[in-house]
């Protein structure tokens, strides 16, 4: 059973007429996603790839019943785009845009608890539930429906790990890229809670990286609350201290932010920890008790 997006997802694309929005709308439509609306201010009444365009998210929701949004709006306006989706009653919001100002995300993070919504991102690949709905920029051809949940700070590592699973004939229930910025809408723990509540997700893969303490908080949750087995991989063992590696939130500041400290915390919590992405598949097979 998928989390966040499924066959009932009715998607609105914010920024549907931009280059990235148009390209990925086509890919999501090809995946079978129900893209019911697009939003570009000033272009209401037009269509893009057969999808009606509205001037505001509120109009799109009223006219189409959209319950999810994906944001391809430029970084300077992404904060406002998130607020617009929240105020329109959207349940699942995926902000793909990178470079969203931290001050904008501070405002969003203060407002988000007032709404019954889940924000994924920013600076993330989105969410995909294979065979059901694709609200993401992820390459759908590497995914296959199944019973393994995936949650990750890294888009690229998500693709690699999912490909390893699929090659072993291990399918995925949902894959969620939460993003790698210092301030994001949804944590590892919040996604792990959703997978734990899903009776059809039999194992979860958690992909972390250097910087912050999100993985340690997740390990505490897994140890105290989860029965579903978790396999992990932490990227950045060779990252020099003080160096930002890929994501704005991936910076080693010593102590618990290093890959070694994170991996040790996960192992103490009983989480199987891979030493490289290719090892994840075998650990998942072991956790599921299957031969692959």
> Which residues are known catalytic residues?
247
CA 42 distance to own-chain centroid? 30
Q: Quote the radius of gyration of the chain (alpha carbons, Å).
A: 18
Pairwise CA distance, residues 99 & 123, whole Å: 7
Alpha carbon distances (Å) from 270 to 3, 56, 76, 92, 263: 24, 47, 42, 31, 11
Q: Are 37 and 54 in contact (CB under 8 A)?
A: yes
Helices (H), 112-187: 155-167
Angle 69-139-1 from CA coordinates, rounded to 5°: 65
Residue closest to 184 by CA, chosen among 112, 86, 80, 265: 112
For 50, other C-beta atoms within 10 Å of its C-beta total: 8
- DSSP code for 242: T
CA 266 distance to own-chain centroid? 21
Q: What are phi and psi of 84, to 5 degrees?
A: -65, -40
Q: Are 193 and 204 in contact (CB under 8 A)?
A: no
């Amino acid at each position: 059973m998928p989390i966040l997006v499924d066959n009932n997802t009715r998607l609105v694309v914010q920024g549907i007429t931009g280059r990235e929005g148009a390209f990925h709308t086509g890919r999501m439509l090809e995946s079978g996603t129900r893209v019911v609306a697009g939003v570009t201010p000033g272009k209401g009444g037009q269509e893009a790839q057969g999808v009606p365009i509205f001037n505001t998210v509120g109009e799109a929701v009223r006219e189409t019943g959209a319950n999810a949004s994906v944001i391809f709006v430029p970084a300077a306006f992404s904060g406002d785009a998130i607020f617009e989706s929240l105020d329109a009653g959207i349940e699942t919001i995926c902000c793909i845009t990178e470079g969203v100002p931290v001050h904008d995300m501070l405002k969003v993070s203060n407002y988000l608890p007032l709404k019954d919504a889940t924000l994924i991102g920013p600076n993330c690949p989105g969410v995909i539930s294979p065979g059901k709905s694709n609200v993401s920029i992820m390459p759908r051809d590497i995914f296959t429906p199944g019973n393994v949940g995936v949650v990750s700070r890294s888009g690229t590592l998500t693709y690699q790990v999912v490909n390893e699973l699929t090659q072993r004939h291990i399918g995925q229930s949902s894959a969620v890229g939460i993003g790698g910025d210092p301030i994001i809408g949804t944590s590892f723990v919040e996604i792990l809670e959703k997978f734990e509540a899903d009776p059809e997700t039999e194992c979860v893969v958690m992909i972390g990286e250097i910087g912050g303490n999100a993985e340690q908080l997740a390990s505490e949750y897994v140890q105290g609350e989860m029965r579903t087995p978790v396999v992990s991989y932490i990227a950045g063992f060779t990252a020099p201290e003080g160096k930002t590696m890929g994501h704005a939130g991936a910076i080693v500041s010593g102590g618990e932010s290093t890959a070694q400290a994170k991996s040790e915390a996960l192992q103490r919590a009983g989480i199987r920890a891979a030493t490289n992405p290719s090892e994840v598949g075998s650990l998942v097979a072991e956790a599921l008790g299957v031969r692959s």
